[in-house]
Chains A and B, each alone.
Chain A
Amino acid sequence: MNMYEIIFYFFAFITVASASVVVFSRNIIYAAFSLLFTFFGVAGIYVLLNADFLAITQLLIYVGGILVLLLFGVMLTTNTVNIDIKSGSMNVLAAASVVAALAGLLGGVFWTSDWFVSKQMGELPAQTTSKEIGTALITTHVLPFEIASVILLVAIVGAAMMARREGIKSQIPSSK
């Protein structure tokens, strides 16, 4: 077992273990916190795959942004913190068949894929992916790139709508 494999199994373990805490935890805030380790483990695996820019993006956007948003969302709602979330088992038969079908599909993909296995994975030349991503974004994929900015604009406008509703609410008591 070389260094590369040890690191891989370490990150894989962190990812899977914390992801199962997310799924099985009865406390919603524990679930949100353990997502931190899931994202971190995934970022580590990206680094092992030489996708350094993607790993950093994973940390900056998912850990630094989306998870903070999730935590704020959980903390914002009263009494979700101390009560157990327990959903009863309903439609067991339908759920089981969907799960079986999905598992079959994933298993099929898993067995039929031509996996790229290289013994030299750890020794791939150190080269940054950010330069290639940048060139691709500005030259070949320039239209999707600009469209992304328009989508972000739409999201910002949506966020502002949320704030405006809050603004009106807080104005009512002060106008009396």
Chain B
Amino acid sequence: MQSYIPIFLMIGVSAFLGIVFLVLQRFLGPHRPNPEKLSTYESGMPPVKSARERFSVKYYMVAVLFILFDIEVIFLYPWAVNFRALGLFGYVEMILFILILLVGYLYILKKGALQWD
């Protein structure tokens, strides 16, 4: 735990620096708002409807598949750290693990889940 204190400090110092930037900007910069300036930029047109509309389900698919494969990646790390100690048995185990997931990967490719058009 001792070795993590510098990391907490680093996160703290950089967050503090960011807050200083935000505060400095507030005091040093001018502040003269007008309705035109504060309107949402839409290439010079008056904004039409809210920006927060629905978007393609493809992005959701990417996030779902990311989680599944990310869990696979996380499983690989403890194995890789011990790779030399575990030897051939560990290697075969992990190839089996990857192959099972590769079946799923090929299935989603076949189903066109990753087809962007």
Contact = CB atoms under 8 A, between A and B. Distances in A.
Interface in A108-164: 121-124, 126, 128, 130-131, 133-135, 137-139, 142, 145-146, 148-150, 152-153, 155-157, 159-164
A50 B55 contact: no
A60 interface: yes
Interface in B14-71: 50, 52-55, 57-61, 63-68, 70-71
B8 to A, nearest CB: 6
Contacts of B85: 135
B66 A130 contact: no
Interface stretch (A18-26, A77-85, A87-95, A98-106): A77-85
Given A3-B5, A7-B8, A156 B105 contact: yes
Interface residues of B, number: 53
Contact of B111 (A57, A60, A163): A163
Interface size of A as a range: 35 or more
B93 A142 contact: yes
Query: Could you tell me the dominant secondary structure of chain B's interface residues?
Result: helix
Nearest to A133: B78
Nearest to B51: A81
Given A57-B74, A130-B78, A65 B63 contact: yes
A157 B107 contact: yes
Query: Could you tell me the dominant secondary structure of chain A's interface residues?
Result: helix
Contacts of B3: 126
B65 A156 contact: yes
A31 interface: no
A163 B104 contact: no
Nearest to A78: B54
Interface string B77-117: 11111100110011001101100110111011001110100
7 contacts: A44-B8, A69-B66, A72-B59, A156-B101, A159-B61, A164-B112, A166-B61
